[in-house]
Chain A
Amino acid sequence: MSTQAALNFPATDAVAITARPEWLDGFWLIAPTLLIVIGMMVVPLVGIIVVSFWTQTGFNIEATWTLDNYRVLFTPEGALYRILIVKSLWMSLTATIAVVLLAYPMAYFMAFRIERAKLIWIILLTVPFWTSYLLRIFAWKVILGFNGVINSGLKAVGLIDKPLEFLLYNPTSVTITLAHAWAAYAVLPIYVSLEKIDRSYLEAATDLGDSKWKRFWRITFPLSLPGTIAAILLVFIPTVGDYITPTLVGGTSGIMIGNSIVTQFGKASNAPLGAALSCIMMLAITLAVCAFLAAIGRKRLKAADL
């Protein structure tokens, strides 16, 4: 099209535009995003759900509808998946609690104690995240390892003469690594919600005689809830499905459901079972999140303006 045409809008064209319903304009505006979301998220998700109702023997996927993959979970054979599901939920719950407990003071410090150059602090916080996730896991392998930073440090100080073996290759090392890997995702939302708090509330509380602690529990904490909840969800949901961390630092006892799902798709060539396990995990996470939000209470969330 030429600039000329853009300059001289014919009258008829203008009428056509006003006659078009407004929602259609909006639709065209979001269309590219919508396409990406449908193509990249909805279609694969529906694919996984569909495959989870099929069966596979060897290389052949049979497309007859069956609930067998879900039924397995309730048989003695499915015991290993039940154990892994519960274990994964538990491990990422511990990791989430650890992350939020660590992140809150960091966010608080950034929001209330830093006066100038907050941006530098935010950048400092994200520096470790400029490297790949895999490298950060390897870093923990180096820190917790047999001849790692902690062991050689303790040895040098003379506290131990044989390296501590319980540091690496167990569920705890998985939790530590996950907690570190997702820390920034927790600090930022909490920081934002703390930053938004109107400082005059705090002044008022002090004027009315609240102690520092009381002021925190009655004003700061409730008002930071939306950010804290966001942080909990941001860490909990992705960590349940992680399989790289357990592979690298989990050892024989630290594997999670993600590892089992990977095996189903790859080595065991049972994509339908893998898909069913993924669906079950999605359902389990949804239920866990709903239960959590219900426990927090709607009123509170509303008050906190989520």
Chain B
Amino acid sequence: MDNQDFLNAMKAGRMSRRDILQMLTAAGLTMTMLPVGRAKAADGEAIYFTWEGYNDPGFHPGYTAKHGAEPEGPVFGDVEEALTKVRSGFQVDVVHPCNLDLQRWREADVLQAIDTGRLSNWGNLFESLKKLPYAQGDKGEQFFIPVDWGNTSILYRPDLFDVKEESWTMLWDERYAGQLSMAADATESVAIAGIVLGVKDPFNLTDEELVKAKELLVKQKPLMRFYWDSNSAVEQALASGELVAATGWNSSVVTLTGQGVNIKYANPKEGIMSYCCGLVMTKDAPHPDKAYDLIDAMISPEGGKWLIEAQGYGHSNAKSFDLVEEKILAERGLPKDPTQFFGQGIFQQPTLNVDKVQKLFEEVKAGA
């Protein structure tokens, strides 16, 4: 029955209720099938699953030049959420976790080894970053391509916070009750408590140490304005003076300084906390060839230049530092070689007992 027949039949009242229902069902079914058909038909670009703000074209200049289009960029709020999605069948090519999360991603068995021979920039990456724990498989196959590295430290307002000595204990300073904040991140918060306690391995506390860490976090809770869950939340609050000190990342220093806010990034006496994030490829990546192009573009010196200048983070490609002016590097507090830098501070390590740590932080937040 074509459209005209259908309309005529309707007008003349010649359609039974069943005929109409039949037509509607057919129409409904067709509508539901449409998106499926389209997704299959389209060739599509590499799908890059990342943190908000990292899908900037500047970060992968080579990809756009080669394919004439941007990779698709779904974003996640935290990496555990990303892992849950990937495990439940969300199809992506490349994901952007950090070394701290690698163990979980490896255990989840969702990654495929990356043939580093296909990456033209591989040879210029810092050796120490290539061999981070869990980055390589038993046979030396590479699962993790390091890209960006940076710090977690304390952002504070020197005009509002009277600091005697830069230390992680600043986050427990009772003089500034209600004006402090930490990230709503269990592993990091517990690790910071561990650093303050002066334990041997803040990322893997013993049961006894966990009890003490919890006490410390419970003591800290009333001093907190909130636990932040987005960069912009902590930046706005610091800019307005609502917060005087909070944990934060390099990019916030760049953003806030750019806004003319008087902000300092602490170099705590116990050591600054550093991490490295990078790229992994999923087992059933729908566009593996394009995924290689994307990874190679992101570890290129040009991608690194963008990262250092726009976000203030370090890059894994040694050559990218040659493209950036010395002055800009100094402003961002970035050394040329991360190896020595990481040796001085506290490098984030995978936490083995994530469940316990999560539960502990939940209890702190719920106030029990």
Binding site for B on A (CB under 8 A): 1-3, 6-7, 28-29, 32, 57-59, 79-81, 83-84, 145-147, 163, 165, 169, 247, 250-253, 255, 259-260, 263, 265-270
Contacts and interface: CB of A to CB of B under 8 A. Distances in A.
Given A59-B107, A146-B241, A269-B80, 14 more contacts: A1-B19, A3-B5, A6-B15, A6-B19, A32-B28, A146-B242, A147-B242, A169-B226, A252-B226, A265-B84, A268-B355, A268-B358, A268-B362, A270-B355
Contact of A83 (B15, B226, B368): B368
A267 B358 contact: yes
B30 interface: no
19 contacts: A2-B5, A3-B8, A28-B18, A80-B362, A83-B366, A84-B366, A145-B240, A145-B242, A146-B237, A146-B242, A250-B226, A252-B225, A266-B78, A266-B84, A267-B78, A267-B186, A268-B355, A268-B358, A269-B84
Nearest to B226: A251
Interface in B81-108: 81, 84, 87, 107-108
Interface in B175-222: 178, 186, 221-222
B165 interface: no
Nearest to B15: A6
Contacts of B224: 251-252
B328 interface: no
Contact of B362 (A2, A147, A263): A263
A263 B107 contact: no
B108 A59 contact: yes
A274 B221 CA distance: 24
- By Cβ-Cβ distance, the 10 closest A-B pairs, closest first, are A80-B368, A146-B242, A80-B366, A268-B358, A251-B226, A267-B80, A147-B240, A79-B368, A252-B224, A169-B226
Chain A at the B interface: SS class: loop
Interface residues of B, number: 42
Contacts of A146: 237, 240-242
Interface string B308-345: 00000000000000000000000000000000000000
Given A6-B19, A7-B14, A83-B366, A268 B78 contact: no
A163 B178 CA distance: 13
A269 B355 contact: yes
Contacts of A263: 358, 362
Contacts of B178: 165
A79 B15 CA distance: 63
A29 B240 contact: no
Given A146-B240, A267-B80, A28 B21 contact: yes
B311 to A, nearest CB: 24
Contacts of A28: 18, 21
Contacts of B162: none
A141 B50 CA distance: 27
Nearest to B223: A252
A247 B229 contact: yes
Interface string B238-251: 00111000000000
Contacts of B366: 80-81, 83-84, 255, 260
Interface string B16-31: 1011010001001000
B185 to A, nearest CB: 9
B174 interface: no
Contacts of B81: 266-267
A288 B362 CA distance: 26
Nearest to A256: B366
A116 B25 CA distance: 42
A215 B227 CA distance: 52
Query: Interface centre among B8, B81, B237, B358, by most A CB within 10 Å?
Result: B358
Nearest to A249: B226
Contacts of A252: 221-222, 224-227, 365
A15 to B, nearest CB: 16
